[in-house]
């Protein structure tokens, strides 16, 4: 287990290196952390992911078993996979990343660190099997804004990526589902509910992109689907004031099966 002191010292070291990279325009394509070697595109993005995983610990969860089953949708270069394997070394992880160039680094980080029981897929999770246009900025590989929405990437190029139904991969209870899929959250949740697979998920954390498509309001529908399938939830967001109509808002939604939570708390 990594101590808080180790995490804070590593964070300070990375912040200093990020400042030096920006000042002297160094190109760093590899970093060491907690016994892992991480291959990366951009040092600023890497330090942002480090903070997300190890400082704010957005994807931390308590498992009833030492070998939880985890599904990671939107794995990027694999920092979340490394976090899960550090948290639960005996876990089984399915990781999905649609962008080919980013997937190559994900594969390098998984194979290079000899991670057991990690299966990776160069696919986008959606509500259908097929292909879809995917947009990214060629000058910023691995950017956290890659998406099926063209408006999200002003300096964009488009190409086809393979899509798959996430329900196909859920054949047993899922201890933790992570989704950071840049606008596809609702259709994935709805498809899981239609296939009666949502009830197999114990806990999840999704980054919900509200108004990624301005004028489209589906948050209430998605929360209703979660409620109908036995989930409670917590929501966190930071929004610039004053309010504006159709303003983009990034929501972190933590959802959990209330029946399981009640049993953990000794309730009937």
Q: From the first residue on, what is the mean pLDDT of each consecutive set of 10 residues in the chain (268 residues)? A: 87 91 87 95 92 94 96 96 97 96 96 97 94 79 69 69 95 96 90 96 94 86 96 90 86 93 56
Q: Residue 32 domain-assigned?
A: no
- Cβ atoms of 60 and 87 within 8 Å: the answer is yes
Instruction: Provide DSSP, 47-84.
Output: HHHHIIIIIS-TT----SSSS-EEEEES-TTSHHHHHH
Which residues, 6+ apart, have CB-to-CB distance to 196 below 8 Å? none
pLDDT at 150 (0 to 100): 65
> What tokens appear for 36 in the block?
């892992």
Which residues, 6+ apart, have CB-to-CB distance to 112 below 8 Å? 37, 39
- Find the CATH number of the domain harbouring 135: 3.40.50.150
Task: Tell me the pairing of strands 176-179 and 231-237.
Answer: unpaired
Number of domains observed in the structure of the chain: 1
Q: Classify residue 39 by its DSSP letter.
A: E
Q: Residue 182 domain-assigned?
A: yes
Q: Residue 232 domain-assigned?
A: yes
pLDDT at 268 (0 to 100): 43
- Cβ atoms of 229 and 259 within 8 Å: the answer is no
Q: Residue 24 domain-assigned?
A: no
Q: Residue 1 domain-assigned?
A: no
pLDDT at 96 (0 to 100): 97
Q: Residue 194 domain-assigned?
A: yes
Which residue segment(s) compose the domain that 63 sits in?
Answer: 52-264
Q: Residue 17 domain-assigned?
A: no
Q: Residue 220 domain-assigned?
A: yes
């Amino acid at each position: 287990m990594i101590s808080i002191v180790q995490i804070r010292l590593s964070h300070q070291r990375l912040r200093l290196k990020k400042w030096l990279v920006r000042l002297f325009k160094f190109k760093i394509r590899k970093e060491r952390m907690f016994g892992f070697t991480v291959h990366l595109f951009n040092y600023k993005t890497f330090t942002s992911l480090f903070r997300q995983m190890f400082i704010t610990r957005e994807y931390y969860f308590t498992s009833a078993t030492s070998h939880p089953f985890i599904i990671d949708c939107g794995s990027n270069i694999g920092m979340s996979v490394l976090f899960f394997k550090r948290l639960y070394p005996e876990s089984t992880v399915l990781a999905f990343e649609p962008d080919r160039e980013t997937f190559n680094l994900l594969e390098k980080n998984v194979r290079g660190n000899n991670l057991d029981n990690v299966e990776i897929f160069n696919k986008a999770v959606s509500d259908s099997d097929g292909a879809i246009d995917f947009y990214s900025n060629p000058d910023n590989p691995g950017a956290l804004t890659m998406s099926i929405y063209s408006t999200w990437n002003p300096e964009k190029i488009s190409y086809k990526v393979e899509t798959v139904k996430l329900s196909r991969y859920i054949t047993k209870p899922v201890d933790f589902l992570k989704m950071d899929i840049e606008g596809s959250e609702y259709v994935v949740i709805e498809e899981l509910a239609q296939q009666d697979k949502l009830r197999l998920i114990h806990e999840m954390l999704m980054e919900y992109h509200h108004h990624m498509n301005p004028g489209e309001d589906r948050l209430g529908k998605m929360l209703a689907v979660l409620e109908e399938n036995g989930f409670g939830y917590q929501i966190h967001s930071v929004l610039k004031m004053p309010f504006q109509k159709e303003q983009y808002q990034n929501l972190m939604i933590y959802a959990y099966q209330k029946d399981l939570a009640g049993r953990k708390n000794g309730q009937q």
